[in-house]
Amino acid sequence: MNYRRYFEAAVFRLRSERRYRVFVPIERDVESFPVSAWRRPDGCSQDVTIWCSNDYLGMGQHPEVIQAMIETAGRTGAGAGGTRNISGTSQAIVELERELADLHRKEAALVFTSGWISNLAAISTIADLLPNCLILSDESNHNSMIEGVRRSRAEKRVVRHNDLEHFEELLITAGDRPKLIVFESLYSMSGNVAPVAEIAALAKRYGAMTYIDEVHAVGMYGARGGGVCEQADVMDQIDVIEGTLAKGFGALGGYIAGDAALIDAVRSYAPSFIFTTALPPAVAAAACAAVRLLKSRPEIRATHQRAVQVTKHALLAAGLPVLENSSHIVPVLVRDAQLCKAASDMLLDRHGIYIQPINYPTVAKGAERLRITPTPHHTREHIGALVEALVDVWQTLGLPFIEPPANLGIHEKSAEQCAYPEILRAAQ
């Protein structure tokens, strides 16, 4: 039997639908981030500016974070050497879990090798331990949450995105059975922020448990980087907070924080936790250093938000179709898979700017976009070059510009922040 043809056909389908992914090999350099080396298909190396990293705060490049990794690797070795139960519980991971529990003001935390696994493990285990549980899951939830819901034996209802009325309607209908609300604080492809306080209040009123994914928010929001829930002052109203160590904290891994009994149950029952090698101590130490740093350095968050505001403002002023939101994610809509890929290719080839196209199934068809993520390391020069490049690409590909919002420029702070008149002219 010729099995190969099935795999070839599967890949061919993606190519014909223009959603075949080509990975771009990038060599980051701590000395120059976000400028990094792209290994071109012809084998040559070219400097590019990364504008799509999820190392949102550049903590993966922070000297103290790197030093923690280096010091721990040199002292304890490269790997953990086993599962958490079988020789893999390092002092570094114990400390990291303590630090994360403290970050979210919870009794305990549990670290996984990825955010994907933490959602799969935690959602399915929690739901399965609650008899006759009903899961209410936001329709825009990340794939890993959907997989967690799907893996559990619990019944589920999909809730319209951030729709409080729909949440309430389903909570009422559910009656007094155990109910688990599963949602994100910040949806990564749109930058939408959930009404966390309102959802927490509904959960309380109707006796539901709450499980929130804060992977795109931890480190970046709240007085100590506890995320959107800290910022909204509802950390204690949410039962389980899930986060990642691979974005705001610049390393690798995922985690949950919550009541000690719940954490102990997930620790004891989730096979994807039990049967997997622990994070290397060096990775745990790097993440721990980043968590600690961000607890006490609000200025990193402030610099980040400033870079985001300047970027959004400059792009809008240039007439680029930024999808507005209140977060640090800057989606620029293209609305066509092929043009989105072409725009990305042209940015890389012609302008040395690296922004991956976001196509179906990550976003809906017709909602294709460039997803821009400014970091505190992106200077005004980087932002200027970005706007200039995008305007050129938009013009070259004949993509539609929009009318800059009317209030742009009269907003005092924004006007001060944005000063790219030549770019504005080019766009008009």
Residue type, 96: L
Residues linked to residue 83 through DSSP beta bridges, in sequence order? 277
- Which residues in the 390-419 window bind its own copies by CB under 8 A? none
Q: Which of 237, 276, 309, 338 binds its own copies (CB under 8 A)?
A: 276
**Does 271 participate in binding its own copies (rule CB under 8 A)?**
yes
- Distance of CA 75 to CAs 27, 80, 92, 178, 291, Å? 26, 12, 12, 47, 21
CA separation for the pair 393, 339 (Å, rounded): 10
Residue type, 192: N
Q: Which of 104, 106, 142, 382 binds its own copies (CB under 8 A)?
A: 142
- Which residues in the 73-92 window bind its own copies by CB under 8 A? 73-87, 89-91
**Nearest distance in Å: CB 9, its own copies:** 8
CA separation for the pair 340, 359 (Å, rounded): 8
**Nearest distance in Å: CB 362, its own copies:** 8
341 as an active site residue: the answer is no
**Does 275 participate in binding its own copies (rule CB under 8 A)?**
yes
Q: How many Cβ atoms are within 10 Å of 49's Cβ, its own excluded? A: 23
**Does 239 participate in binding its own copies (rule CB under 8 A)?**
yes
Q: Which of 35, 158, 197, 265 binds its own copies (CB under 8 A)?
A: 265
Which one of the spans 28-36, 220-228, 388-396, 397-405 is the region binding its own copies (CB under 8 A)?
A: 28-36
Which one of the spans 98-106, 159-167, 204-212, 224-232 is the region binding its own copies (CB under 8 A)?
A: 204-212
φ/ψ (deg, to 5) at 306: -65, -45
Residues whose CB falls within 8 Å of the CB of residue 24, separated by 6 or more in sequence, listed in order: 38, 348, 354, 356
**Does 17 participate in binding its own copies (rule CB under 8 A)?**
no
**Does 53 participate in binding its own copies (rule CB under 8 A)?**
yes
Beta strands 179-184 and 134-138 are: parallel
**Does 94 participate in binding its own copies (rule CB under 8 A)?**
yes
Measured from the CB atom, is 286 or 315 closer to its own copies?
A: 286
**Does 246 participate in binding its own copies (rule CB under 8 A)?**
yes
How many chain residues bind its own copies (CB under 8 A)?
Answer: 105
**Nearest distance in Å: CB 184, its own copies:** 13
Q: Which of 259, 349, 416, 422 binds its own copies (CB under 8 A)?
A: 259
Measured from the CB atom, is 230 or 239 closer to its own copies?
A: 239
Q: Which of 104, 224, 247, 382 binds its own copies (CB under 8 A)?
A: 247
**Does 356 participate in binding its own copies (rule CB under 8 A)?**
yes
Question: Minimal CA–CA distance to 256: which of 134, 375, 140, 148?
Answer: 148
Measured from the CB atom, is 257 or 427 closer to its own copies?
A: 257
**Does 250 participate in binding its own copies (rule CB under 8 A)?**
yes
Catalytic one of 247, 312, 365, 413: 247
Q: Which of 17, 21, 396, 413 binds its own copies (CB under 8 A)?
A: 21
**Does 214 participate in binding its own copies (rule CB under 8 A)?**
no
CA separation for the pair 229, 241 (Å, rounded): 9
Which one of the spans 54-62, 305-313, 345-353, 417-425 is the region binding its own copies (CB under 8 A)?
A: 54-62
Which one of the spans 265-273, 300-308, 393-401, 403-411 is the region binding its own copies (CB under 8 A)?
A: 265-273
**Does 153 participate in binding its own copies (rule CB under 8 A)?**
no
The residues annotated with a catalytic role in the active site are 247
